Amino acid sequence: MDLRLDNQVVFVAGSSRGIGRAIAAALLEEGARVVLTGRDETSLRSTQIELTTPINQDRILAIRGDFADAATISRALERTVHHFGRIDHLIANLGTGSGKPGWDQPEEEWERLFELNFFASTRLTQAVLPDLLSNSNGGSILYISSIVAIEATPAPLPYSAAKAALVNYSKNLARQLGSKKIRVNTIAPGNIYFPGGSWERHLNNRRESVEAMLHNEVPQQRFGTPEEIASLAVYLCSPQAAFATGSCYVMDGGQTRSL
């Protein structure tokens, strides 16, 4: 299927590894122009080198920085528009699930996880929207949330609440931007394995319990891959998904039980 993304400019926040990296790779395969971003210079440079080919070398721009920071966001967007001329799509793959278990959560932990998993994405959105709205053909915004946003899990409470807030924000933002040709959606991935990710660490520390969880809780009895999430993400950015907005798409191997 031709997703008609040739030369579309996609800013992928959090794309030096894992799901974000896979999304960037899939976009490049579809002919898009992609802004790679990440906090770690080594990881970002390695990803840029691995994804660059003689065919796409003019379609990749790598920008290092902490995209929870307003000044970093402003500089990155200015550089993107200067380099590519515009921004057509934003993919916000920001956040972390690392936190303490249990109900007794200190205020600073709530603030930390909401900052990383909610406010970083909303801050980025507000900064990029003027560029998206200036496009006569419209554009799209896609958030990467988590199944913790829609179902009770053992994940840290502040993380789960922040990801749930992101889903709600996405749905309401879609209603406000629909008439302006801006589509807004969210993907809620389940357990996604990639080298250097949290599930690799959990397997190293408690393999038996992780494998039991997959067997008992996930009908497909396996981890998902970043590439599987990327296939949906790229489709949702494309004109082929023109009627898709205001939705949260779950991709979790059947783990969640809620409708």
Closest CA to 230 of 44, 18, 26: 26
Binned at pLDDT 50, 70 and 90, residue 10 comes out as: very high
Rounded to whole angstroms, what are the CA distances from 82 to 41, 73, 75, 78?
Answer: 22, 14, 10, 6
- Tally the domains of the chain: 1
What is the per-residue pLDDT for 7? Answer: 96
Residue 218 counted as domain residue:
no
Binned at pLDDT 50, 70 and 90, residue 199 comes out as: confident
State yes or no: pLDDT of 139 exceeds 80. yes
State yes or no: pLDDT of 98 exceeds 90. no
What is the per-residue pLDDT for 197? Answer: 82
Which residue segment(s) compose the domain that 161 sits in?
A: 9-189+224-251
Query: 210-236, pLDDT tens digit by residue?
Result: 899 999 999 999 999 999 999 999 999
What is the per-residue pLDDT for 76? Answer: 97
Residue 50 counted as domain residue:
yes
What is the per-residue pLDDT for 68? Answer: 84
Residue 161 counted as domain residue:
yes
Residue 49 counted as domain residue:
yes
Rounded to whole angstroms, what are the CA distances from 250 to 31, 43, 257?
Answer: 26, 28, 11
Residue 216 counted as domain residue:
no
Closest CA to 110 of 161, 154, 153: 161
Counting residues of the chain whose pLDDT is more than 90, the rounded percentage is: 88
State yes or no: pLDDT of 118 exceeds 80. yes
Residue 60 counted as domain residue:
yes
Residue 139 counted as domain residue:
yes
Q: Please, which residues have CB within 8 angstroms of residue 153's CB and are 6 or more apart in sequence?
A: 147, 160
Q: What is the mean pLDDT of residues 235-241?
A: 97
Tell me the residue type at 70. Answer: A
Binned at pLDDT 50, 70 and 90, residue 3 comes out as: very high
d(CA 111, CA 208): 33
State yes or no: pLDDT of 1 exceeds 90. no
CATH number at residue 20: 3.40.50.720
Binned at pLDDT 50, 70 and 90, residue 259 comes out as: low
Average pLDDT, the chain: 95
Counting residues of the chain whose pLDDT is more than 70, the rounded percentage is: 100
What is the per-residue pLDDT for 142? Answer: 98
